[in-house]
Chain A
Amino acid sequence: MAKTLITTPFPSAAYIAEKLGLPSSRIERLERLIAEIQGESRTARVYTVDKRGAAAAAKPHAAGAAKRRAAGAAKRRFADAARHRAASASKTRWVAKDAAVAAKMK
């Protein structure tokens, strides 16, 4: 089936204002909302392209989140190392104990 061809130009701001009859205060509020939304999506695009670094630079709260993530990772690394050290120290103790028992038995 053939498509319907729309030949009218894209509606102008004057036409929309006349047809919708929105008060100027409401239009201002909607303009702010649109600016906010389109600003957000711009930031989201930056986030997708440059990953965390660019998003952290663009958004202060993202920078905070990145810092928190880094701190959490460091904490986890430190805890793992401590656990590893404790395990190896206990192993050493047991090895020494076993050697002492073996020496006595000789």
Chain B
Amino acid sequence: MATQRSQRRKSPRSDPYSAFINVPYDPQYEPLYLAFIAGLSGFGLLPRAVLQIPGSQRRLDRLFGLIHSCQYSFHDLSRVELDTAKRMPTPRFNMPFEPGLAVAWAQEGDRKHKWYVFEGKQYRVAKSLSDLDGTQIYIHANKPIGVFRQLTNALARTKHRPTVGELQAVYRDLQKAARSIKGDFATLYDTRPFLDLLYVAWKSAKKRVASLHP
């Protein structure tokens, strides 16, 4: 127990600005990926993802390190489904595994860590992951505006509260920038395009969230 406590004390302090996003990295998901980046940036948070950390470290270590360093984590389970492989269709287990790590960290590591689960359809999580029964699941209906609505349901700021309309304006800017960034890197799911998107989203949020202007 004493060792556990000392380990807890040794754990790195989480960054109050950092929000870990656990989303699928596939082309069909791009609008929601951009919506999470725009929405969280509008709330003055800095999204972080596994793809941000290049290196030879084991993926699981990177993942765990990242969850430790973030005060918030957002997990979208809307793509927990069988893939289209004909031979051996397999569900994507990464998605529910990561909230498992976050829940464990919030329970045993950093009590300040807040985690949120998002879904595309109502009652699907109750069927696929009944361990989360009693937990608030945020249903975004697979639409960017759904993500913004649910983020405003989940989060509030003491100062500079963004509205859904302002988050949408940030999203529109980010969407346009994403086209150009994708032209430079051929993908949005890599370290450099991700960092570029974060910068654009932050800059746009500064402009679009009305209360940030005197």
Which A residues lie at the B interface, using CB under 8 A? 1, 3-11, 15-16, 19-22, 26-27, 30-31, 33-34, 37-38, 40-41
A11-B173 Cα distance, complex, nearest whole Å: 19
Quick check: B207 and A8 within 8 Å, CB to CB? no
Question: What A residues does B158 contact at CB under 8 A?
Answer: 5-7
The A-B contact count (CB < 8 A) is: 77
Quick check: B44 and A38 within 8 Å, CB to CB? no
A90-B183 Cα distance, complex, nearest whole Å: 61
Interface membership of B129, Cβ < 8 A: no
Interface residue range, chain B: 35 or more
A30-B158 Cα distance, complex, nearest whole Å: 30
- B contact patch SS: helix
Residue of B with least CB distance to A31 = B203
Quick check: A22 and B195 within 8 Å, CB to CB? yes
Q: Give the shortest distance, in Å, between B83 (CB) and chain A (any CB).
A: 33
Residue of A with least CB distance to B136 = A1
Quick check: A16 and B114 within 8 Å, CB to CB? no
Question: What A residues does B196 contact at CB under 8 A?
Answer: 22, 26, 30
Residue of B with least CB distance to A6 = B157
